[in-house]
Structure 1
């Protein structure tokens, strides 16, 4: 890992990426500022110039991780429409390679830390509200009865699937992930079957 370069914002982002790699590998509680500084080839004083504490660095790193997920999802949604637009987003988010598995493992680490932190829970709440709203926008054109509830269902399915697969010792093959996700998403957005009415004799 090279020393942070660029302007102030770029340096903060480089530090956050190093923190993300360390947290995804070792866990949030075990990682120290010294570990992150060593990975970057700098002193802890350099880090505290940009982040006054580990908590500040962790909060920024979490925000960056979520923003990358949302940006990746929005990019995947561009250029297509209908159900294929939703499938494109879901496919892009699946942990089919090392980079995506690391990204999801990072969010798992943050979920655990939020249990004892009101600030982290508030950040998580903001993240999930944005996530649900994004998926509601994706499913709204599909003619579902309740876009908000269906969007939430798809968002929770994708995140749950991605998190658990990312944590597996032997990840499922990419083709299996895509096929399974496609089938389940189509079930979630399928129009409800109206109840059968028995004719009155």
Structure 2
């Protein structure tokens, strides 16, 4: 009797291998042969689970974004306003080892997204959703008197740009951005 194969588990194992290689080598250092070896499969076996390297990279990036969104949901919970906005920012910023690793993976894939419309769409959809949620929480904070009244859409643009910039700094100069410094930048933008 043939052994049952858990298709989703194998896909997750391949994505995890892609994460490790992306974090260690960047997108240009990932090839199908090394990816298969890292995942513990033959090169040909990967084609049973993904159409090719581009699909694996998109799945790896989606996994990064899904992990971030899961942390945001868990952290924000029922909070609203300023507390929700700050908690959301803390999950996007590279404040912990896990989020710094995710920043390395995301930054590596941004380069590819410049020429891969599907990857760019994955990124832009996630950022648009974050910005929409940030605008909602920021407006809640304004309405509750927790932060000064401001141009909420413009302020959210500044905030998201700062969060992405913190990810870049964490990757390129890991020792320069302390947790306290990153949190202080966000609080300065929020006016608290």
Structure 1 position 152 matched with structure 2 position 176: no
| Number of residue equivalences | 183
Look up the SS of the partner of 1:29 in the other structure: helix
Residues 82, 127 of structure 1: alpha-carbon distance in 2 compared, 3 angstrom cutoff = closer
Bigger radius of gyration:
1
Structure 1 position 27 matched with structure 2 position 26: yes
Q: Could you list the runs of 5+ residues in structure 2 that have no partner in the other structure? A: 143-148
Per the alignment, residue 68 of structure 2 pairs with: 69
Residues 182, 97 of structure 1: alpha-carbon distance in 2 compared, 3 angstrom cutoff = closer
Per the alignment, residue 98 of structure 2 pairs with: 99
Per the alignment, residue 199 of structure 1 pairs with: none
TM-score (norm 1): 0.79
Per the alignment, residue 37 of structure 1 pairs with: 36
Residues 2-33 of structure 1 show CA distances to partners (whole Å, capped at 9, x for unaligned) of: xxx97322321221121011111111122111
Per the alignment, residue 197 of structure 1 pairs with: none
Per the alignment, residue 182 of structure 1 pairs with: 183
**Kept after mapping to 1: 8 A contact 2:131/2:157:** yes
Distance in 1 (alpha carbons) for counterparts of 2:24 and 2:11: 20
The structure showing larger relative contact order (alpha-carbon pairs under 8 Å, at least 6 residues apart) is 2
Per the alignment, residue 11 of structure 1 pairs with: 10
Residues 149-191 of structure 1 show CA distances to partners (whole Å, capped at 9, x for unaligned) of: 333322221121122123325354xxx42x3233322332339
Residues 71, 137 of structure 1: alpha-carbon distance in 2 compared, 3 angstrom cutoff = farther
TM-score (norm 2): 0.82
Look up the SS of the partner of 1:63 in the other structure: helix
